[in-house]
Every structure is written in C-alpha cells, then in structure tokens.
Structure 1
Amino acid sequence: MQQSSVPFYLRYPAWPLASRVDPDTMRFLRIVVLIVVLLLLLPFVAVQFFGGPIASRVVAALNARYPTEISVGAYDLSLLRSFPQLSVDLQDVTVQGSDGGSLLDAAHLGCLLDLGSLFGKIRIEGFRVDRGTLTLRTDVDGNTNYQLTGYTPVGNAGAEGAGATSVAFAVNQARLTEVTVRYEDAQLRTDAEFTITDGRFNGDFGAETYTLQTDASVRIDNVDHEDTRYFESETLRLSGTTTIDHAAGTYTFSPLQISLRDLDVAASGSLRPTEEGLSCNLRLASTAGSLEDIVSLLPPSLTGSLTDLETDGLLSLAATVSGEWTQRDYPRINGELLFSEGRIESPRVRIGASDIEFRATFAFVDGPTGGVQTFSVPEFSGNFRGEPFRMRFDLEDLKDPVIDFYADGSLPLATLPAFLPEEQELEAEGMVYFTNLRLQGRYADMIEPRRMSRVSSVGILQIEDGEFTFNDRTLALPTGILKLSDNRLKVENLRVATERSDFTLNGETTNYLPVLLADSLNTKDAALKFTASLRGTAFAIDDILALFTGSEAEKTDAGTPSVRDSLTRRDIARRARMTDVLDGSFAAEVDRWSWDRLEGQDFRGQLEFYRGQLEIRGLTDAMDGEFKVDASTFFRDSTHSSIRLTASSIDAPTFFYQLENFDQDVLTNEHLEGRMNADLLLDLYYDELGDFDYDRFTALGSLEILDGELRDFPLLENFAFALKSADLERVRFTRLANYLEIRDRTIYLPAMFIQSSAINLTLSGSHTFDQYLEYYVRVNAGQVIANKIARHDDRYDPLPARNGFFNLYYTIEGPLEDYRVETDKRAVLADFRRSTYRRDRIRNRLEAAFRRPITLLDDNEAENDDANEGFE
C-alpha cells in the first residue's frame, strides 16, 4: 500500500477535526488550558502583591547574617531576570569591611530564591554580582578586612523587622560578571588586580566541608610581588573542582585546570592559610603549550619584549611547590622544563633560531643553614643563521643569588631588540662572537663597585659589521674586540661611525658590571672608571649627542607642546644619567671636528669625565687660525659650560658666522674682514628643555682685529657729515682692539680708539640682545674738516692719529630701527670715565682666569695718546 505524498495537515484540516470532537471533551480541554495559564500567571501576580515584603525580608536577613554595614540604594523582586528562580535585585550596594573601608561596591547584587519563597519560607540559593569591585586586604599581622564578626548591622529603613528570621540560607551557586578584585597582602608583600569577566561557582557554601565547581574567565591586569610585576594584561581560564574544608582551613585541588594562551596546566594538591602566610603543597604539570607562554609568566622587567617570541617545539613541564610562604620564607620549588626540536622567532628580531635544545631545572638543595633554592639552565643550544651557540646558566639561592654563566659561539646582533622594552625601537645587524665567556660570583658583589673584585669574569667578545639604528639614527661598529678579565674590560680597536663621525677607541675600564646592572637611581653609586684613546678622521659632537635623544619624528608626532617638552626632559635626564657614571679620560686626536656651525681641524687634547662633568683641554686649528681650549661642562637637570678660549690669528668673519653673530645683526660676518686674536671667558647656561638661557649668559673678553675692514656698516651712515659716500662703503683700519663684557642680555664696550681710513673716533657703550643701542662717540673736529676737504683715498689708508683743539661728542640711543643721534659732551665724557673702571675690572678677571698678563688696551693707549683726552 502506497503512502500518500500529501502532508497530513493538508489531508486532515484542523477545523473539520474540531467539529468531530464532542462538547464534553472540548470543555475539559478548555479547563486544562485555563489551569495552566493560571499556574503560569500566579507567580507573576504573587510577585506584584508580595514582591516588596519578600525583598525587604531578604535585605533584613543579609544584615542579620553578615554583621557589617550594608548600604543598598534600591531593591525589587524579579521573576524574569533569573527564571526559573526569583531574584531580589539590590542596586548600588556597598558592603563595609572589618577595617572600616569598602569591601564590596556593586552596581547590582542579586539574591537568587526558589519559587517556593513566594508562598512559604524564603530560601536564598545563590548570589549574582554584576559590575562591581571587591577589595581584599591583609595586614602585616595577618588580619583581613573580611573578618566581619563583631560588627553591628546597619540596614536601610525597609530592611528591618522580624521577617529576617524566616529566611533560610541554602546557597549553592554564585555568578560574578565584570567584577574587579583588588588584592593587597602586606604579609606576603603581594598586590594584584584582576577582573572576573564571567565566573560560575557551585557548591554547598553553607557546609563545613564541600566541593566547589569552578568555571571562570579572569583578566589579570597586574600581579606585583615585592615591587616586581609578574603578570600584566593576561587572560586565564579556570575550571575544575576544589574541596574546601573550613574546619581544617584547607583548599584541595583535584585538579584545577589553568589555561593561559595555549598553555594548559593541571594544578593539584592543597593550600592552607596560616598565621604568617600560606602553606603550599602543589603539583603542576603540563604537556600542552609553547615556550612563549612560559616566558609570559616571567616578570616583564626581566623578559623585555621576549613576550613577542613565536616558538614551535616539544614542551613539557613538571614541578612541585611545597612549604611555607611567609614574610621570611618561600616554598620549595622542584621541577623541570624541557623544550626540544625547537624553533624561535620574533617579529622585532626578523631572524629565527633553529635546532633549539633547552632544559631548565628548579631544585631545593638542603644545606647546613636550612637549604637554598636553585635555578639552572644546564643546556641551551641551537643555531642562528647557521652559526652555532651554547650557553649555560646556574643560579643558587634566590635570597642571595650566586650566578655562574657561560657562553661560546656566535649570536646575530639582530637578536638584541628582543631583550629590550617594546617602547625602545632598535634595529641591529652584524654578529658578535663569544669565546669562552664566563661570569661567576654573587649578584650582590656584581652590583657593588667596592666588592666587584670578588667576581670572576673571563672571555672575549668580537664584533663584526655591527650596525644599530635607533631614534632615526644609525651607529655602526664595524670592528672591535672586548676582553674580560675579572673587573677589567679591555677595548681594542673598537671603531665607531655615525653619519658624520668616524673614530676608533682603545683603552681599559673597570666597574663595567656595576654600571650595567645599576638601577635607574644608581643607588650603589656605580662609576665607570676608564683610561682610553680616541683617534679618528671625524668627530661631530652634535651627531654623537643626538644618539642619546629621541627622534625628530617622535617629537613631531608628540602633538601638544607639553608632550614634546616632556620628551625633551626625558632626553636630558637620560644624558645626565649617562654622564653621571663616567669617570675617566680620553687622549683625543681628531682630524676634523664640528658642532653645529663650529668646525675645526687637527684637535689634540684630553677629554676628561668625572661624575656628570666633562673637561676638554687641547689645541685645534679652526677659522684659519688656532684655538686653545679649556672648557668645563656640568650635566645636570640643566647644563652649564664654563669655557676659556684663546684664539690666534683667526678669520674674523668666519668667527662671527660660526658663532651666529652673537645673536645680533648690527655687526655681522658680512660687514667685517680681518684677522683676530682673542681671549674669551664664557659661561653658557641651558634651561631644563635644553634651550640656551640668554638671561644667564655671561662673557668677558679681549679682542684684537688686525688689518681689518668694515663693509657697508649701517652705523657709519650717522657720520655722513664727516665722510664721503665712497668712504662709507669700505672702511679700512690697522688695528681694532678692546675689551668686552656680556651680561643681563647686554654687550658692554669700554672706551676704545678706532683709527680707520674714513674717520678716527673714540667709542664706548652697550648693545642689548633686544637691539637697543646706547653708544657714546668722540670725533676729532679738525680731522672732520680735513677729511671733507681732502680727496677720496682709493688706497683706504688709515688716517693719522692726531690731537685736535676741539672734538665733537655724540650719543646714539634707542631701538635699532629708530635710534636717535644727539650732541652731548657731558654724557660722553661721563661714560668714558665709567668705562675706565669697567676696562680694568674685565682685564683683572681675564688675567686671573688665564694666569698671564693681558696688555691689549695698554698697548693701544700707548700708541694713541689722544684716546685719553677728556677722560679727566
């Protein structure tokens, strides 16, 4: 018999079927439907009528059971929120801890009830907390802020009454969603902050002993122990069973599965809180995961950016943790980590390592003083770019570490970025070769300069084709050898090259380990003592300093000026820290040197560093002449340089150009010709942002320009009454000599005699950095008349110095763009008398600084008797 292909609901329509049911059956069906509907609606009706009293009784019960201050903003009863259970939803809940501070702050706290609570005794079966903060504290004596006994409950107005006694606690479930836990344990010196994004916990919480089922996802923000951070921004998954025995105070895992990234660890055993801390008896095991997951468990301060590693290979981990964890003691750790047939890569390194064999062991070794914890890497080998390497590492006693490190083979410098913090951008090329490198000793001796002699080190490091790019700048180390011998590090032919520098270092240094291992504040006062030579073809000072500052792109991307200023302060602090640990000298020979506009050749001298201070002494050819330099620079939060400079027969316009015309545009390199001798005493200051501080800049000097010429000098236009137009274009002079002083943003010139091809005059005055002029001038009147009558001298010979029967006296005063020229004999003679005192004071200061006579002005006065006329 064939089955019809027509669906049954088409073959038997509903309406004809209803017409075939007898009336009694239909009446029964209607009654059944009505009863079902009433049963479904009854809880909702009951909630409307009895919801308020039930919620009030629950709040009263919480106050009675947990004797502490519980503040509730609002509450109501809901059926749909947690169906098929009832939920008393408390809003804006604050629970006070036993220390008087906040224990729990939650936007919502739900108490889960069974449906029978609508018609009989209320049963609280669970809790639900949404968007809250739980703060757990333990002080140094082991007291916690969740010891709630002995506190008087303080409820709100609707939560009091005898109804609290008709509430039963039969809690067997709890759910936490986006609850942040802040844990502070002063006893174990541990702080942590993590968020339970979704956690489900089931068990008979009211029993003295019960099994807790856990299924939770936890986002760890940080875990800090003794100021060391061990976790940061990691997500854990927890699942498993825990037996909790309140009488014995133990937590037994059987087991608890912990998942971090791809690493799955099974934790079994027990933990038991004690009066002094925690008693541990745990077993950890894992055969799933990768080496980078293990690295992520280590402190970021130790791993740098090793958390970026990508690995592939066979991994296994087995360990036991047993003993007391207190303020004085740590539990014993025994175990082994194996990684074989491995491959390691890093996005920052751009190079892989193959054939990795790695074995690490943890062992607690008993001894006469109770035993010590050890950590060892007896095997770490592999290949980088086909070059093999082998390393060993032993650490004995975590409380007082004793280190034994050995390395042999080669390592690409491109691996270095993996060991640096992520914010430090570095690219490297080249190779470093290790030959029997070994370091042995106590870590406490390695960081203490006075005890470094107890540390043993030996070995050779050789660099080939090294190149480092950071801060948008490149530092090349083409060749070089470093030899270790205990506390001495010998540097042989280490060539250093930057964009504009190329030199070679040779020398010897001590205390290199205490400096390398020093903390940011250098609390051990480590100093790198050295004696070395620096020889090269080029040395650009600004190029070298730029290596220790941020890139221009970084400052451009900084956005606001305040952010750029903070970056500049960071660079200055970094430079100050570096110079603060240097204590030694370089014998320097450089063919060419430069610093911004300043350029020179054949520098021969000494560079001496002493704890934040740099002394430079030497001779150099520059500006077509010769300089003798004796300078001291102090590097602190702001920089100060004190410079003694002697210039011999240098080119005057080049001097003005390279010194940027002293930040003025009245007399510039374009107006001047001639050879110059000078003795200068300069004090240069820079502010906290590295900008030149003109307000504090001071200078004393004696200058002499021989066989010079002024071209198109604007101030000479004021003496057009005494000069011919041709004389204004070029003014020759045999000798121009004077002292000068710069302070308070002003250049001061004592009275000086100027003998030129156009006019002879005596001049004194001042000129501010803001271009305000105040000059005093005396002109020989007889010479003015003679100059007007005489023909223009094409040879530009200087006019003879002669005494006249009368002179003309002028003052030049006002801003550069609108100064005034007036006749005022009294003001001119008064300033000439003041300038005599200024001249003597400057000369005495210079003689004290240079420790030799300065006779520049005396010679000038001897040759020009009329320069003193009118001073009396």
Structure 2
Amino acid sequence: MSIKKVLRKTFLYLLLAAAVVVVSSVLVTFLYRDQLIDHFIREFNKNINTPVHVDKIQVSSLSNFPQVSLSFNDVTVEESYKDSSYPLLSAKRIDFTFNPIAVFRGNYTIEEIHLTDGKCHLKINQQGETNYDIFKQPDTTQHQAVKLDLSKVKLKGVTFTYTNELRNVHLEVTTKSTAANLTALGSAYDVETTGDIFLHYLMVNKSMWAENKDLIVDSKLKYDDSEKYLTINSSTVKVMGSDFSVFGSYSFKEKQLIDLAVEGKNTDIQTLLSLLPKGSSDRFGKYRSKGNVYFDLVMKGEFSEKKSPSLEVNFGLKDSKLYHPDTDAQITHADLKGTFLTPEMSKLSMATLKLENVQGQLEGNSFKSNLYLKNFDDPYVKCDFNGRIDINSLFKFYKAENIRSGKGVLDANINFEGFLKDLKKKETAQKIKTSGEINLEHLYLALRNFPLPLEDLQGNLLFNNNDLALSDVSGSLGNSDFLLNGFFKNIIAYLLFDNEPVGIESDLKSNFIDLDQLLLANSGEKKGDSKYSFKISPRLVLKFDCDIKNLKFRRFKPTSIRGDLKVKNQIAVSDQIKLNAMGGSIALSGLVDASKNKLVKVNTSFSLQNIDVDSIFYVFENFNQDFLEDRHLKGKIFANVDAEMTFNDNLSLYSETLTSNISTSIKGGELNNFEPMQKLARYLDEDKLDHLQFSELKNDIHIEDRTIYLPEMEVSSNITDIKITGTHTFDQQINYKVVAPLRSQQKIDKDEAFGAIEEDHSGRTMLFLKIVGTTSDYRVMYDKESVKKKVVSDLKKEVKELKDAFKNKGRDEQKTIELEEDDYFDWDN
C-alpha cells in the first residue's frame, strides 16, 4: 500500500473519530442532560454536609470541547460552622467535565474541574475549629454513580483567604492561572500544582509580611488523609526573579507538627527585604545588590496553645555590592553573616540576632561592625563599629528623612553593651558599657525643617557609658559660632527612645551670636519675615557657663557676655549674667518659663550701671511710642529693676502682665526739645525750656496694669527746679502734675491762675500745673484742686503699696519655681 493511501486512510479515521466525538458530545448534551444532572446532584448530596446554592445548572458541549461540561453558575457553598450561613466558597462558575463517549456507556467520571471568578474563605477559630469540614465520610458499601478523577483542576481568578484566629495569622492569595493534578490511591493523594499566584498579604501577629507579590509556584505535595500528614517534596516558589526551594512536612492528626526548610537560590537583597514585615523594610525597599546573597530557613516543632516551633534563619552577603538605583553611591566588597534563632517563634524573649563580620567600603572608605541582640522583649545589645565615613557618601547611599545634605568626615570607633531598659533610669544607666570616640572633620549638615546649616563642625566626641564628652567641638549655625567643652549626659537613651531627656553640661564660647537669625529660623519663617518663635524642648536639660564676645538682638548689641544658664522642664534660669552694652554694663538674673503652651513667662532682676539713657530708648525702639524719644534725652542711667511679664511664643508682650519696680538715677542728664516743657514756658518766667540740664535725677517708678506710676520727683536743672508726678498708661493717656517756682507773675493771668498759686515753706511762689490728655493731644492747665497736696501724697502711698505687693509676690513665686542646682541632671525614673 502506498504512503498516499495510508495517509488518506488515517485522515478518514481521524475524521470519523472526530465526528463520533462531536456527535457523542451533542447527543449527551440533548439526550443525557437530565440524567447527568440527576446523577451528579444525587451523588453531590451524598458527599457534602453543608448547604449548596446554585442559581443555574447547564450542560454544554462547547464550553470545554470535546468534553461535555456540567456548569454550575453563581455557586455558594456554606461553611461548616454550626448555625452559620456564611459562604466557604462562592464562584461565578464551576465546570465539571465528562468524556462524552464514557457517559454513553454509563460512566459518569469527572475528569476536570474549572473554577472561575471565585472566593474561598478558610478559617480556624479561637477554639481550633475549622470552617471547611464540609465532606461526609464516604460510604464504601454503596455504588457511586458519579466518580471523581481529578487529573486536572484549573483555577482562574480565584481568591483564597486564610484566617487562623488561634495563631493570629491572615493570608490572602489570588490564582491568576493555576493548574493542579491530583492522583488518589485510597486516602493518599499526590498533588502537583503549577501557575501564577498573586500574594496580597501575609500578616502574622499584626505584622505585615510579604505583601503584593507575584509568585510562580511549582509544587509537589503528598497528603495522607488518614494520618493527616502533608509532605512537601522539591517545591519551588519564584519571587521577583529569586528562587526559593521549599521542602518538609506538616502533620495535624493528634498534634500540629511542622518540619519545614526554605533555601534561597539566585536571590538578592531586594527580594529578602521585601519579605520582611511592612514598616521595618520600607526605607530599604529600593536597594539592589550584586553578588552572592544567601538565605535559608528551618522551622521545626509543635503548634499548640502553649508551644510554637523553633525558627532558625541564616542569611548573608559575600563580596557583594549594595547600591540605590537613584544615586551613584554604593557599598562594595560587602560581607555579612547573619543568624536569627529562637527556640519558640511565639516567644521573642528567647530570640537572638547575630550580625557578624559586617564590613565593606562606602565609596572607598572602609568600615567594620558586629551586632548581637538577645531577647527582643527586653533587648540586650552588644555592638561595635569601626570605620571612616564620608557624610556626603552616606547621605547619597541612605536618604535621611530630616537631613537635606551633608559633607565632611566621621572617624568612629565605638563599642556598646548592655540592656536598653537600663538607659531609662538614672540608677541603672551606669550599667551600660559604652566606649570609643568619634572625630568630626569639617562637617556640614543642612536640615529639612530648619533653614540654618550647621557648618564646619569639628572636634572630638568621647563615649563614657551613657555620657558623651565634648572636646573642642566647634562650628557655626548660620551667622553664629560656638566652641563647646563639656558633656552630653544620657545621650544614648536620648537617641534611642522617645521622650528621654538629654543633658548638656558645657562651657560655651562664641565670638558672635545672631539671636535674631536663630529665633527667626526656629519659627520656620521665610527670609525677610520678622516673626520670632521661642521654644524650649521638654527633653533638654542644660547647664552652660557662657563666654560670648558679641550678641545681636534687633538693636541690642551687647559685648563681653559672661554668666551661667541652666535649663530644665522648659524653664531657663540664670543666677547672674554680666555684659557690656549701651555705653555701660548690665548684670542680670532671672527665669524664663516656656512650659505653658504658647506662653513665655519672664521673672527677672537686673542692674544698669552707667548706661546711656538715649541708647536705651534707641535700642528698645522708643518703647513703641513717639512722645518721649531718644533724641530728647542725654545722660547716664543707674538703675535696679525687678520685673515680671508674659509673652506669646512669638515674643510679643502681653502688656497687661508687665509689672515692674524701677529704682533709677540719671546723672548728667539733659532733656532737649521736649514739647511739653516748651508749652510750660508760657506759664513760667523762662523764655524757653528746650534745653534742660540737671546733675542728678532719682526716682522709684512702678509699672502695673498697663500704667506707669511716677511718684513725685524734683528736677533741678540749669534753668529752674520742677517737681513732677503722675501716671502714663500704655494707651498713651497721660496725667502729670507739675509744680514750678514762679519768679514773676507778668506772664500769667492772676484771675485765671487763682487757686493754682501757693507759697511753699521757704516763701517761694509756686505755680501748680497739670498736663492731661494723650501724648498726641494733651493740654497744659492750671491745677486748682484744693486737695492738690493730698492727691500727691495719695499717689505716693498707692505706689508704695503696689511696690510692696510686687516685692512679696515676686519673692514667693521665686521660691515655687526655683530650680535646685543638684537636680539638673536627675531625670524621671
């Protein structure tokens, strides 16, 4: 027979076979439809013990040609919990396929199952009960009309959620396109699964592990249902291009026992980091590696209420390269050997982490380090670091949240050992063993939330347990410079824990402090704005001995500033600060309390020696008034001042809170071109009073309730002797009383002045006047009050009472808020 005839005959046989299959499929669809459905539902009800709801059942010869499909549409299978109707499985469609020729022969064997667009919810409640116990025990004595041969199961768009309330484990995956083959021999099953799976999340004890991962799975499993024993053979999971081999076993007949091993192959640092809990690896998720990165895991032991398996994880790098794809900085020749080990996964108090021989080169600068951590609940840490780090390279490799840029070099050799909890208490802090030093070489740091850069930071930092010694640490912050020698106390706890204080005890030297710039920078205002912000950190405990050559605050530019400054609980105190300013010297002490929200309370005493009075008015911008200005005044002032006042955090004064006693003396004084004096000239026997000179002027002034109280004082000038008393409010309301000698009565109308003229005890004729109104609209008038002398005495008495009350109040308050020196570095237990 020729080849052509053989081919023709073979082709005819194939056509005939295809025709038989097609005809069989069509005939089964129309002739055996009801019989197939009836057999299937009857057998289904024999094996399922939970309600099943199906919207529509169809038989088709086209859906999965050439096989006949029995299709269930909109299917819901209820879970097995008692009195629950919650779905275990819901699916848009489930297809069961049969061989059409076998159906003609009465063989109803399911060959394939196709599950499309479904959701399966698997649960274990807190009592250890499962919701998927839906199958009845098979009755082997009865004939089964419908048989199951799961040689192929296809899952498309099916989401599985697994919730173990007993172990606080939550898992959600979606099968994109997954196929499974199942071979059964009695109660033993061989299952092979391949396909693409999307892992939504794996959450254990509220920690989010591997999230949003595309997986390629190729698994080979053996399951013995009678022994409740699962064996994982040579299975692989591909994640982000890395392969993980998985093998082991899991049994749950009497106890839940696991023996699982995972080994990473062709992996990299990015894949390993992506599998860590969310939050702990977010900052490192973009990093890449080249070279030998290894990982293996062994989990072994029992799951129960009181027990959990042991876990050992080994990981590391060998001569690898680490880099960030967005920058050109990289660590080369990186080596690391890591081990995480715990005898029980649920007891992190028993866990240990070792990172050994961590070393590499960051853009040519070498470093070495080791870390040992024991007991994650109460960590005991032992670590060391030795290396030279270029700050610019470090911040290119690792983007710090609060630092914009940096330059310079850190040369560090540090060792740390101890329980971290010991850092939180003063009596145990000295148990911490910290040693080593850091050399700072021309550091530059620009912060994101602070406009002034820290520049040219140099010096030596020496660790001594929980403290850090500063040796000739110098630098500049904006226009201000500093030199520190002293200690940072409690520095390790401050860096590791929130709300821990830090103590600074140091000598501070500076050539120049630009307080304007620092306060503006603290407010976050843009350049050109003038809004200050004054804050004291609640975590700051400070004791400075200051030596500042020059300082600038608005027009105030003192020099040779020396004294002490102590800070605790947001309260700053100075026993005495001395400085030179405005042609003389100032000595002050006091307290600044910033502990109240957005309020700054000041309580101070200071003395002025030989200060130019016109300079005071100029420096303090004429105290925001234009009635008496620096151009009117000359002379040297000597004064002792007690004052208290309250500002907001922008250093704007609440004027109603200002209370002050001022004992003052002005020597060699002049009052020039002062308009009220010129208006007085028309009442006196003087041609003009535009240039008054006096040798000394003394008075005790009191300020309270937005009013300046001026007791009677005598101004003996080159022209005349004048007595002045009265009040001047912050609203510029004035009420002054003036008594001056009247040598001649030619310039006054006797009738108009009647009652305002009187002889004093020496026989001089005295004219009584008053100046009333506002500083911009006032009048000079005769003072004809019959009780004028009593009014003066009453004002003296009132001022004395106010002054005495203020002194007592200040004395009492000082006692309540005074800080004892020995308490400065005692932090709360």
Q: Report the TM-score, using the length of structure 2 for normalisation.
A: 0.69
CA contact (8 A) 1:811 1:828 kept: no
CA-CA distance at 1:421 after TM superposition: 7.5
Select which of 714, 727, 732 maps to 1:764: 727
CA contact (8 A) 1:671 1:712 kept: no
CA-CA distance at 1:110 after TM superposition: 1.0
CA-CA distance at 1:836 after TM superposition: 5.2
Name 1:699's counterpart in structure 2: 658
Could you list the per-position Cα deviations for residues 456-505 of structure 1 after superposition, in whole angstroms to 9, with x for gaps in the alignment? 22222212122211124311353221222334432211113211221121
Distance 1:169 1:697 in 2: 92
CA-CA distance at 1:538 after TM superposition: 2.4
Select which of 447, 450, 461 maps to 2:427: 450
Cα distance 1:597–1:370, how it changes in 2: closer, same or farther (>3 A)?
Answer: closer
Select which of 537, 547, 550 maps to 1:592: 550
The equivalences for 1:392-471 within 5 A come to: 392-398=370-376, 400-414=378-392, 416-417=394-395, 423-435=401-413, 437-446=414-423, 448-471=425-448
Matched, 1:633 2:633: no
Stretch of structure 1 that moved more, 116-125 or 584-593: 116-125
Select which of 603, 614, 617 maps to 2:561: 603
SS for the counterpart of 1:481 is strand
Select which of 621, 630, 648 maps to 2:580: 621
Name 2:643's counterpart in structure 1: 681
Matched, 1:495 2:457: no
Name 2:193's counterpart in structure 1: 213
Matched, 1:776 2:755: no
Cα distance 1:642–1:334, how it changes in 2: closer, same or farther (>3 A)?
Answer: same
CA-CA distance at 1:644 after TM superposition: 0.3
Distance 1:96 1:776 in 2: 92
The equivalences for 1:99-498 within 5 A come to: 109-114=91-96, 125=113, 127-129=115-117, 138-139=125-126, 142=128, 146=131, 173=153, 175=155, 177=157, 185=165, 187-188=166-167, 190=168, 196=174, 198=176, 200=178, 202=180, 210=189, 211=191, 213=193, 215-218=195-198, 220=200, 223=203, 225=205, 238-243=217-222, 248=227, 252-271=231-250, 279-299=257-277, 305-324=283-302, 331-346=309-324, 351-363=329-341, 373-398=351-376, 400-414=378-392, 416-417=394-395, 423-435=401-413, 437-446=414-423, 448-471=425-448, 472-476=451-455, 478-498=457-477
SS for the counterpart of 1:844 is helix
Distance 1:448 1:409 in 2: 31
- Extract unaligned runs of 5+ from structure 1: 1-28, 151-165, 557-567, 791-799, 853-872
Give the partner amino acid of 2:418: G
Give the partner amino acid of 2:735: Y
Could you list the per-position Cα deviations for residues 639-673 of structure 1 after superposition, in whole angstroms to 9, with x for gaps in the alignment? 533230414144556555655666x4555866664
Could you list the per-position Cα deviations for residues 187-228 of structure 1 after superposition, in whole angstroms to 9, with x for gaps in the alignment? 54x576767484646466999765362634435568464x66
Name 1:739's counterpart in structure 2: 701
Select which of 786, 807, 815 maps to 1:847: 807
Distance 2:589 2:326 in 1: 45
Distance 1:105 1:709 in 2: 98
Cα distance 1:265–1:356, how it changes in 2: closer, same or farther (>3 A)?
Answer: same
Cα distance 1:808–1:841, how it changes in 2: closer, same or farther (>3 A)?
Answer: closer
Distance 1:296 1:209 in 2: 36
Could you list the per-position Cα deviations for residues 378-399 of structure 1 after superposition, in whole angstroms to 9, with x for gaps in the alignment? 2122223433222222334555
Stretch of structure 1 that moved more, 296-305 or 438-447: 296-305
Distance 1:61 1:595 in 2: 90
CA contact (8 A) 1:304 1:421 kept: no
CA contact (8 A) 1:448 1:514 kept: no
CA-CA distance at 1:612 after TM superposition: 3.7
Distance 2:415 2:273 in 1: 24
Distance 2:689 2:177 in 1: 92
The structure whose residues are more often helix, as a share, is 1
Stretch of structure 1 that moved more, 456-465 or 203-212: 203-212
Distance 1:763 1:97 in 2: 95
Distance 1:300 1:316 in 2: 21
Distance 1:661 1:246 in 2: 95
Name 1:749's counterpart in structure 2: 708
Identity %: 15
CA-CA distance at 1:300 after TM superposition: 6.3
Matched, 1:535 2:514: no
Distance 1:449 1:128 in 2: 65
Name 1:865's counterpart in structure 2: none
CA contact (8 A) 1:588 1:606 kept: yes
Distance 2:724 2:456 in 1: 59
Give the partner amino acid of 1:590: I
Distance 1:536 1:666 in 2: 36
SS for the counterpart of 2:511 is strand
- Extract unaligned runs of 5+ from structure 2: 1-14, 136-144, 750-758, 813-829
SS for the counterpart of 1:305 is helix
CA-CA distance at 1:307 after TM superposition: 3.2
CA contact (8 A) 1:682 1:700 kept: yes
Give the partner amino acid of 1:111: R
Could you list the per-position Cα deviations for residues 790-817 of structure 1 after superposition, in whole angstroms to 9, with x for gaps in the alignment? 9xxxxxxxxx9987455457455xxx99
SS for the counterpart of 1:580 is coil
Distance 1:652 1:182 in 2: 83
Stretch of structure 1 that moved more, 673-682 or 114-123: 114-123
Could you list the per-position Cα deviations for residues 820-851 of structure 1 after superposition, in whole angstroms to 9, with x for gaps in the alignment? 99999889989978865652344225534777
Aligned residue pair count: 737
Distance 1:137 1:656 in 2: 81
Distance 1:83 1:128 in 2: 13
CA contact (8 A) 1:350 1:414 kept: no
CA-CA distance at 1:705 after TM superposition: 7.7
CA contact (8 A) 2:323 2:397 kept: no
SS for the counterpart of 1:473 is coil
Q: Report the TM-score, using the length of structure 1 for normalisation.
A: 0.66
